[in-house]
Amino acid sequence: MSRILNAASVAAVGLTAASMLMLAEPGFASDLAESANLPAITLPGADAPVEAEPADLSTEAKSPVESPSESQDESAVEPKPAPVDADTLAELVSETVHPAEMDPELRCLAGAVYFESRGESLVGQLAVAHVVINRANSGRFPKSLCGVVHQPSQFSFVRGGKMPAVRNGAQWNNAVAIAQIARDGSWKNQAPGALFFHARHVSPGWRKTRVASIDNHIFYR
């Protein structure tokens, strides 16, 4: 009989301790009251119980958020033109597609090629185009191609800060293609690093490093 009473006493003590732990844990009293449809119990000095949002029990996996590039319809993306594989510079020039609308920088570069070297070989024209590009990248000249071309006292064909009118034709088409090739760096330049050039029939007496001699021009850096 005494063993039964002792066991009952131990069980009662365990239940009492469990009840105290339940009441002492924040928020747990309000949960018990809600489950039993009873008013929530607020312990002295404790904050009012806050009703927690129900947990999302959905087992359906949520789709990751797609970036605009991922969600874009692949069929709507305009394919880029395949790179031109040419064996000669002339072939590359003939296969270079002219832009529908020419940006000002390309027009300035093509103008320099046209007016300075349209009577030269394509290799010579490409070298002239690279001089303009090298100047823009050097930090010693204007940073834009148009700024380089229109810089006072640099290119003789620029008069009053303006470029003369261009006559459309094969030579202009070649100049535009050469300008694109030079800007893209898609063909090796035979006057690497050149910042200056002059015609063979003049002798300016420059103390500069000679880089190349192509057609009627001598290039320096």
Per-residue pLDDT, 81 = 45
Would residue 74 count as lying in a domain?
no
Residue 161's pLDDT band (boundaries 50, 70, 90)?
Answer: confident
Residue 198, in any domain of the structure? yes
Weakest mean pLDDT among 33-37, 90-94, 191-195? 33-37
Q: What is the pLDDT of residues 108-149, one digit of tens each?
A: 999 999 999 999 999 999 999 999 999 999 999 999 999 999
**Average pLDDT over every residue of 139-162:** 94
- Across residues 68-78, what is the average pLDDT? 38
Which of residues 31 and 154 earns the better pLDDT score?
154
- Same structural domain, 201 and 95: yes
| 208 and 103, same domain (yes or no) | yes
Same structural domain, 25 and 93: no
Asked if the structure places residue 83 within a domain, the reply is no
Q: What span, in angstroms and rounded, lies between the C-alpha atoms of 142 and 195?
A: 13
Report the candidate in 55, 170, 179 with the shortest Cα–Cα distance to residue 119.
170
What one-letter code names the amino acid at 97?
Answer: V
The residue that leads in pLDDT, 131 or 6, is 131
170 in any annotated domain: yes
Residues 215 and 134 in one domain: yes
Please report whether residue 124 resides in a domain.
Answer: yes
Q: Report the distance separating Cα 114 and Cα 118, nearest Å.
A: 5
Q: Model-level pTM?
A: 0.62
Question: In percent, how much of the chain has pLDDT > 70?
Answer: 62
**Cβ proximity of 190 and 211 under 8 Å:** no
Q: Which domain holds residue 22?
A: 2-50
101 lies in the same domain as 46: no
Write 139-145 long-range contacts (CB < 8 A, 24+).
Answer: 140/195, 141/195, 144/105, 145/105, 145/106, 145/108, 145/109
Residue 67 lies in a domain: no
Structural domains of the chain, count: 2
State the CATH number of the domain containing residue 127: 1.10.10.2520
Residue 201 lies in a domain: yes
| 46 and 93 assigned to the same domain | no
Residue 40 has pLDDT above 60, yes or no: no
% of the chain at pLDDT higher than 90: 55
For residue 71, tell me if it sits in a domain: no
Residues 103 and 189 in one domain: yes
Do 38 and 140 lie in a common domain? no
